[in-house]
Amino acid sequence: MAELVYPPVIGVARTMFKALDLRFDIKGTENIPKRGGAVLVSNHIGYLDFVFCGLTALPAKRLVRFMAKESVFRHKIAGPLMRAMKHIPVDRAAGMDAYRHALRALRSGEIIGVFPEATISESFTLKNFKSGAARLAQEAGVPLLPMALWGTQRLWTKGHKRDLGRNHFPITVRVGAPMEADPTEPSDTLTERLRTRVQELLEAAQRAYPVRPKNAEDTWWVPAHLGGTAPAPAQVAGRGHR
């Protein structure tokens, strides 16, 4: 079936990136398979992360179908676009429907994008991973594709105003080698191995990031353990409302 919506949306996104003069450093796109199903797994630090994750599949001429919270699909503008691009709504009260939908898509050869932290990390460090991505890959018999983003939080993230000006922000992305999802391995063990690999890629992206905060007011996007003023994970957990 022809993709009537996804390619034009990609074109709009690329035009926006050019207008913002974003500086991309993306490595590892050769790890995206040119055919067959896979589960693309990334850290989650900003509202536009799915767009940047999707960019990594374009050299392989693939489109990624993301699992996203159901409320996005109710938005009067985003909703019709999300459905037309065949993304998958996740209702946390009835998660098995989304799981089955994703499983069918994987078995039909699609790449499914998952943020296993389930929500944006306000500390910009990795939260615990849900096991759904690992279980999907195991049941569908497809590989896991670990990746990490850095810099996307500077554009638009939870608790901060959007900054979509022409600020020349760098965006660093690292895609790791595919991980086999052995169905005999406990899903929790596989999930922890996956999280460790994403952590390694995140640290590589952070080391490669070409800029540092300009002043004390600009340290908000840097994690506390790297000398920034983003809240530590314990502080975020202590708020008790997310």
pLDDT tens-digit series, residues 111-138: 999 999 999 999 999 999 999 999 999 9
State residue 120's pLDDT score.
97
Name the DSSP class of 179. B
Lowest average pLDDT, out of 91-105, 164-178, 195-209, goes to: 91-105
Confidence of residue 242 (pLDDT cuts 50, 70, 90): very low
Q: What is the mean pLDDT of residues 59-76?
A: 94
Contact assessment for residue 68 and residue 87, using Cβ atoms and an 8 Å cutoff: yes
Which long-range contacts does 149-152 make (Cβ < 8 Å, 24+ apart)? 149/42, 149/43, 149/45, 149/46, 149/49, 149/52, 149/53, 149/173, 149/205, 150/45, 150/202, 150/205, 150/206, 150/209, 151/209, 152/45, 152/46, 152/48, 152/49, 152/52
**Reduced to 3 states, what is the DSSP secondary structure of residue 114?**
strand
Banded pLDDT at 10 (limits 50, 70, 90): very high
Measuring CA to CA, how many Å separate 9 from each of 19, 76, 116, 210? Answer: 15, 16, 25, 29
Average pLDDT rounded to a whole number, residues 155-166: 96
Q: What is the mean pLDDT of the chain?
A: 95
- What pLDDT sits at residue 237? 79
Reported confidence tier of residue 1, pLDDT bands at 50, 70, 90: low
% of the chain residues with pLDDT over 90: 92
- How far does Cα 21 stand from its chain's mean position? 21
The SS3 call for residue 68 is strand
pLDDT band at 28 (very low <50, low <70, confident <90, very high): very high
Please tell me the predicted confidence (pLDDT) of residue 240.
54
pLDDT at 241 over 50: no
* pLDDT score of 168 more than 90: yes
Say what the pLDDT of residue 206 is: 98
Mean pLDDT over 24-43 rounds to 98
**216 Cβ contact partners less than 8 Å away, ≥ 6 residues apart:** none
Q: How far is it, in rounded angstroms, from Cα 230 to Cα 24?
A: 23
